[in-house]
Copies of this chain bind each other. A is one copy, B any other.
Amino acid sequence: MNDEMRRVLEEVRVGSLSVEEALGRLKAAPFEDIGYAKVDLHRKVRQGAAEVIYGAGKTPDQMAGIVEVMQSNGQGTVLITRLAADAAAELATLIDDLTYHAQARIGIIGRMPEPDGLGTIVVATGGTSDIPIAEEAALTAEVAGNRVHRLYDVGVAGLHRTLAHLDVLMDATVIIAVAGMEGALPSVLGGLVACPVIAVPTSVGYGAALGGIAALLGMLNSCASGVSVVNIDNGFGAGFLASRINHMRAKE
Which residues from chain A sit less than 8 Å from chain B, CB to CB? 1-2, 4-6, 9-10, 12-13, 15, 18-19, 22-23, 26-28, 30-31, 36-38, 40, 42-43, 46-49, 52, 56-58, 118-120, 126-129, 131, 152-161, 163-167, 170-173, 180-184, 187-188, 190-196, 198, 201, 203-234, 236-238, 240-241, 244-246, 248-252
What would 12 more interface pairs be, CB under 8 Å, given A5-B166, A47-B226?
A6-B23, A31-B158, A31-B161, A37-B128, A38-B161, A156-B184, A158-B191, A181-B222, A182-B217, A195-B244, A196-B241, A196-B245
B22, B118, B222: which contacts A182 (Cβ < 8 A)?
A: B222
* Copies in the assembly, this chain: 8
Nearest residue (CB) in B for A233 is B207
Is there an interface contact between A47 and B182, defined as CB atoms closer than 8 Å?
A: no
Is there an interface contact between B126 and A223, defined as CB atoms closer than 8 Å?
A: yes
B191, B231, B251: which contacts A221 (Cβ < 8 A)?
A: B231
Is there an interface contact between B209 and A221, defined as CB atoms closer than 8 Å?
A: yes
Bound-state CA distance A212–B157 (Å) is: 21
Which chain B positions have C-beta within 8 A of A10? 19
Is there an interface contact between A228 and B184, defined as CB atoms closer than 8 Å?
A: no
Nearest residue (CB) in B for A164 is B27
Which chain B positions have C-beta within 8 A of A158? 30-31, 38, 40, 43, 191
A58 and B128 in contact (CB under 8 A), knowing A2-B166, A157-B190, A207-B231? yes
Bound-state CA distance A171–B156 (Å) is: 21
Is there an interface contact between A165 and B27, defined as CB atoms closer than 8 Å?
A: yes
Which chain B positions have C-beta within 8 A of A37? 128, 153
Is there an interface contact between A251 and B153, defined as CB atoms closer than 8 Å?
A: no
